[in-house]
């Protein structure tokens, strides 16, 4: 299958921004990963603006029907905000102005109160996150959305690491991303995935030194 070019462009962009790094990194699962994706380093106006255009592109290309965006606190807040701006400017949206909302982590007992900020949660809601590791933040978001009487429509993430969940001696057949999709019956749309990282490693001789380690990691943990 030919990968859409925005996927490869996003991997390149993440490398240029220092968000995607190769080396040895201990990840949440305890595994030593030959690469790490640190979305927190999209931390300037220009880079967050570009990131948001990639999210908007992936969402429009996915054909998921949606009414609004939800960004789980804290990291999802700028992601949902910036992606709503990018969607408003996306030619595929026909000028639609997409509302967004986010939650507070602390309940406020004065002023406007409540845990939700932004547009009222209604209709089909896309949850935006950076990576899914254990799926905890997705579960909380789904609960918030359902409690408000709206429906989760999809989860939109930046990178799908495509790796099996569970401990080394009892690896699951599925990834955390697949588990989320199955558990909630909604698609998980990613801008890019490990497949796109590997394609770049294959095609860019300057990155050749990292090929073997990433290939071996995928053989061991990949779905
Ligand atoms: P949450 O959004 O709170 O789940 O945080 C994401 C988690 O994924 C953080 O603990 C990160 O350290 C971790 N993470 C990445 O952000 N990028 C990766 O490439 C891999 C991980 C990971 O630890 O699996």
Q: Which of 34, 35, 72, 133 to mutate to test the pocket of ligand 1 (most atoms within 8 A of CB)?
A: 133
* Mutational test site, ligand 1, from 11, 14, 19, 27, max ligand atoms within 8 Å of CB: 27
Contact 158/6 with Cβ under 8 angstroms?
Answer: no
Predicted local confidence at residue 114, as pLDDT: 78
In this predicted structure, the answer to whether residue 1 has a pLDDT above a threshold of 90 is: no
CA 177 / ligand 1 centre spacing (Å):
13
Catalytic-residue membership of 108 = yes
Q: What is the pLDDT of residue 112?
A: 67
Q: How confident is the model at residue 169 (pLDDT cuts 50, 70, 90)?
A: very high
Contact partners, residue 175, CB within 8 Å, separation at least 6: 160, 161, 162, 163, 164, 165, 223
Atom of ligand 1 minimally distant from the CA of 159: 19
Count how many Cα atoms sit within 13 Å of the Cα of residue 4 in the half-sphere of its side chain: 14
- Give the predicted TM-score (pTM) of the model: 0.95
pLDDT higher than threshold 60 for residue 2: no
Residue nearest atom 3 of ligand 1, based on CA coordinates: 137
Task: Decide: 194 and 163 in contact? Cβ < 8 Å.
Answer: yes
26 contacts 16 by C-beta, under 8 angstroms: no
Give the CA dihedral 107, 113, 116, 121, nearest 10 degrees: 140
The answer to whether 124 is a known ligand-binding residue is no
Ligand 1, pocket residues at CB < 6 Å: 27-29, 36-38, 75, 131, 133, 137, 161
Domains, in order of start, for the chain? 5-221 (3.40.50.2020)
The structure tokens 């990178």 sit at 159
* DSSP 8-state secondary structure symbol assigned to residue 133: S
Q: Kindly report the average pLDDT of the chain as a whole number.
A: 95
Q: Active site includes 110? A: yes
- 181-205 pLDDT, tens digit each: 999 999 999 999 999 999 999 999 9
Confidence of residue 135 (pLDDT cuts 50, 70, 90): confident
Q: Which candidate, 116, 182, 179, places its Cα nearest to that of 149?
A: 116
pLDDT-derived band at 41, boundaries 50, 70, 90: very high
């Amino acid at each position: 299958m030919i990968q859409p070019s925005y996927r490869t462009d996003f991997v390149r962009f993440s490398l240029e921004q220092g968000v995607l790094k190769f080396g040895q990194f201990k990840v949440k699962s305890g595994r030593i990963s030959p690469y790490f994706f640190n979305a927190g380093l999209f931390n300037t106006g220009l880079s967050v603006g570009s990131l948001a255009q990639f999210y908007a592109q992936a969402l429009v290309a996915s054909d998921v029907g949606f009414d609004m965006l939800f960004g789980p606190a804290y990291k999802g807040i700028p992601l949902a905000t910036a992606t709503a701006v990018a969607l408003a400017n996306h030619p595929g949206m026909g000028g639609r102005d997409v509302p967004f909302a986010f939650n507070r982590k602390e309940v406020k007992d004065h002023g406007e109160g409540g845990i939700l900020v932004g547009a009222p949660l209604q209709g089909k809601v896309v949850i935006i996150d950076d990576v899914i590791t254990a799926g905890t933040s997705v579960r909380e978001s789904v609960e918030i959305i359902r409690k408000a009487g709206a429906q989760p429509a999809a989860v939109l993430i930046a990178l799908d690491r495509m790796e099996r969940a569970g401990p080394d001696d009892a690896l699951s057949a599925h990834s955390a991303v697949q588990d989320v999709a199955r558990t909630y019956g909604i698609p998980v749309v990613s801008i890019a995935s490990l497949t796109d990282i590997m394609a770049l490693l294959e095609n860019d001789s300057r990155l050749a030194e990292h090929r073997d380690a990433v290939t071996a990691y995928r053989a061991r943990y990949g779905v």
